[in-house]
């Protein structure tokens, strides 16, 4: 399928971001978002998705983390969309369940070409350290809009906000890995009856 990697740069009045992905990596990451808990979550995507991921971001963190988190979701989505290319030969769909102690989350993804997000996770606390838990939705909304995927994230149970977040991001990484995998029976074939994705 050739090299499946991409670098995207995004610059606005609020953020300057560069994201590099290699979809056929081994889970290595170099992360400098300026938001430590987000780096921790991005590392879960890389490790569990077996995606090599490099992130450099400067944002208006003196205001809050909102613009940085949302724009990183956007930029990551653009990078993955570019790296996956025409989608011939991939599995397209992926799913994963991930537990962490009392928490359990399910993520299902379709590299459909149609952005859609169903985010069903309730966090017991408004913050994890200094990170606003409402920003998880913003991250994934930015991602789906620009990766053009359908994504369902469901926390099925959990009472610890950190555990809930980790299960969502680990499951997302694993579901994404499954969807991006090449299927030897589909070599050169687009996984759609419509003829386009």
Tens digit of each residue's pLDDT (9 = 90 or more) over 102-153: 999 999 999 999 999 999 999 999 999 999 999 999 999 999 999 999 999 9
Asked if residue 111 is part of any domain, the answer here is yes
For residue 95, give the 3-state DSSP assignment.
strand
- Which domain, by its residues, includes 159? 5-186
CATH number at residue 42: 3.30.230.40
Name the one residue in this structure whose structure tokens are 């995507």.
Answer: 45
Instruction: Print burial letters for 78-113: b (CB count within 10 Å at least 16), e (below 16).
Output: bbbbebbeebebbbbebebbbebeebbbbbbbbbbb
Note whether residue 196 is domain-resident: no
pLDDT reading at 1 higher than 70: no
Residue 142 lies in a domain: yes
pLDDT at 196: 79
Query: Into how many domains does the chain fold?
Result: 1
Flag whether 192 is in a domain.
no
């Amino acid at each position: 399928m050739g090299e499946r990697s991409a670098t995207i740069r995004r610059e606005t009045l609020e953020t300057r971001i560069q994201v590099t992905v290699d979809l056929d990596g081994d889970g290595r990451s170099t992360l400098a978002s300026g938001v430590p808990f987000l780096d921790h979550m991005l590392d879960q995507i890389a490790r569990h998705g077996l995606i090599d991921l490099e992130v450099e971001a400067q944002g208006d963190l003196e205001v809050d983390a909102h613009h940085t988190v949302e724009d990183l979701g956007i930029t990551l989505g653009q990078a993955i969309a570019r790296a996956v290319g025409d989608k011939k030969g991939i599995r397209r769909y992926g799913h994963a369940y991930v537990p962490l102690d009392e928490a359990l989350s399910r993520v299902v993804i379709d590299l459909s070409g149609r952005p859609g997000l169903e985010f069903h996770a309730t966090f017991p606390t408004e913050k994890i350290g200094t990170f606003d838990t409402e920003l998880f939705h913003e991250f994934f909304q930015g991602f789906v809009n620009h990766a053009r995927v359908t994504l369902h994230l469901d926390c099925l149970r959990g009472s610890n906000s950190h555990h809930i977040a980790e299960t969502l991001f680990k499951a997302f990484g694993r579901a994404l890995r499954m969807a991006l995998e090449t299927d030897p029976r589909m070599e050169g074939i687009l996984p759609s009856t419509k003829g386009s994705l």
